[in-house]
Structure 1
C-alpha cells in the first residue's frame, strides 16, 4: 500500500478500523470500516465517538462508497473519512467533493498527475460536501 494521502490538519488516526459488526458490538472502538453494500446510516447514532470511518473500495467502478461519504457528511460527521482500496488518482477530486479527506489507495499515486487532477477545474457547478460555492451561486446569489 502506498502512503496515506490526507487533506486534514490533524494527526492521522492510526487505530485499526474494526468491521461494522465489530464496531456495533463494542463500546470503545473509535475507527470503523464500511464495506461495499453496508449501510452507513447505522453509524449515525454513534458519530460523536468515531474518529475514523474507512470506506472500502474493492473495485474502482463501485460507487456505493461515494453515497456512504455523502450520508455521513450530511449527517454532520466531522472526523476523518478515508477511501481505501481500489482508488484511482482521477477519482480523488470527486471523492473529495463527496467528503473524503484521506485516501489509502492500493496502487502508487503519481503526485504530478494527482496535482493536475485536483487543479484541472477552477469552478464547480453543484454544491457538495467540500464547501466550494457553485459558480452560478457566486454570480446570482
Structure 2
C-alpha cells in the first residue's frame, strides 16, 4: 500500500468536520462528516473545496461507509478520507482499498496486529480505489 496510515491522534485536522446539512448550507467549510445512510454523491459538486471527509461507522457491521469512500475516490476526490467510529483492525486493509487514508477508531489499534493484517495478502482479485493491480491483470498483462 506504500503510504503510511494516519490516525486521528497523529495528525489532527485544523477544522472540525460539520454535518452534511451544515456543509451544504454554507460556503466556507472544508471538512464534512457523512453519517451512515447519507448519500456521498451530494458532495460531488463541492470536491474542489473539501480537505477532509469523515465517514461515520457507528457499528463495525455497517458497510455503507465503504460505498461512500469508493464513490468519492472514483469521482476524483483527493483529500483526506477518514473512517471514524467502530473501526476494527481487520477492516482497515479493506477500507484502504476503498480509498480511506486516515482512521479514527474508537478502540486502540494494536500495531503488530495491524501490520499483520496489512501484510496478509500480496495480491488482490478486484480493482478498487487503491493503485493495486489485480492479479488477473498481472497474469494476462
**Do they fold alike, i.e. is TM over 0.5?**
yes
Deviation at 1:12, TM superposition (A): 5.2
Task: For residues 66-125 of structure 1, give each alpha carbon's deviation from its aligned partner in whole angstroms, at most 9, with x where no partner exists.
Answer: 000000001000000000000000000000000000000000000000000000001111
- The residue that corresponds to 1:93 in the other structure is 93
Structure 2 gaps, min length 5 = none
* Greater RCO structure (CA 8 Å; 6+ sep): 1
The answer on whether the counterparts of 1:36 and 1:57 sit within 8 Å (CA) in structure 2 is yes
- The residue that corresponds to 1:105 in the other structure is 105
CA distance in 1, matches of 2:13, 2:110: 24
Q: What does 1:1-141 correspond to in 2, within 5 Å?
A: 5-6=5-6, 13-141=13-141
The answer on whether the counterparts of 1:13 and 1:51 sit within 8 Å (CA) in structure 2 is no
Root mean square deviation, CA, Å: 1.2
CA distance in 2, matches of 1:63, 1:19: 19
What TM-score results when the alignment is normalised by the length of structure 1?
0.92
CA distance in 2, matches of 1:98, 1:12: 22
Instruction: Classify the secondary structure of the residue corresponding to 1:43.
Output: helix
Structure 1 gaps, min length 5 = none
The answer on whether the counterparts of 1:20 and 1:33 sit within 8 Å (CA) in structure 2 is yes
Deviation at 1:14, TM superposition (A): 2.7
